[in-house]
Amino acid sequence: MTEKLTGKLVKDVMRRGVITCYTGTPLREVARIMIQSNIREVVVIDDRAQVCGVISDHLLVRKAYGKDLDKTVAEDILLPYTVTISPEAPLSEAIDLMQKKRIRNVVIVSDEWEKRPVGILSCTDIVREMAALEELIPPSYYRFM
């Protein structure tokens, strides 16, 4: 199965469109964006629409619980070391990067200098692609508890 993924590029599997917020967005709004969009991570951008970092639901709880969510902004808690990759990169490169960095998501950027987000690649996206490559699994393989 993994041989079938070998020729794929990041752009073949990534989700296009990125849910973002600005560095000055209050954390209450960041939380609303996550809930309304049914996502676990928001990409934080600056005035030029360049990636500054990310805020995950886990980070939001860990860093913002107990703070004034209307006065604390995204820039105050974002994770600035966001891992990015080009949509033209081989999927295998993205998977290696995710494994080495022990992360579940990679932000896809237009190019290395501009860093404008154009998509997201998650472990779930890769698993979905892996499942789509195989025949349907016969019901006898399912385990029910």
Token duo for residue 132: 């789509």
Inside any domain, residue 34 = yes
Predicted local confidence at residue 1, as pLDDT: 44
Tell me, what's the pLDDT at 119?
Answer: 94
Does residue 144 form part of some domain? no
At 99-144, the pLDDT tens digits run: 999 998 999 998 777 789 999 999 999 999 988 876 555 555 555 5
For residue 45, is it within any domain? yes
Residue 82 lies in a domain: yes
Structure tokens at 69: 């969510």
Both structure tokens of 92: 């295998």
Average pLDDT over residues 74-81: 92
> Tokens standing for 87?
């949509």
Greatest Cα-to-Cα distance within the chain, rounded to the nearest angstrom: 55
pLDDT, tens digit, 9 for 90 and up, residues 23-45: 999 999 999 999 999 999 999 99
Cα–Cα nearest to 43, from 64, 52, 102: 52
Does residue 86 lie in a domain region? yes
The count of other CB atoms within 10 Å of the CB of residue 53 is 20
Q: What does the radius of gyration of the chain's CA atoms come to, in whole angstroms? A: 17
Query: How many domains are contained in the chain?
Result: 1
Share of the chain above pLDDT 90, in %: 72
The answer as to whether 140 is a domain residue is no
pLDDT value at position 82?
83
Q: Which single residue is written with the structure tokens 């296009």?
A: 16
Residue 139 located in a structural domain? no
Whether the full predicted model's pTM is greater than 0.85, yes or no, is no
**CATH number of the domain encompassing residue 102:** 3.10.580.10
Taking residue 22's Cβ as centre, other Cβ atoms within 10 Å add up to 16
Q: Domain of residue 46: give its range.
A: 2-134
Give the pLDDT score at 80: 87
DSSP 143: -
Q: Is residue 145 part of a domain?
A: no
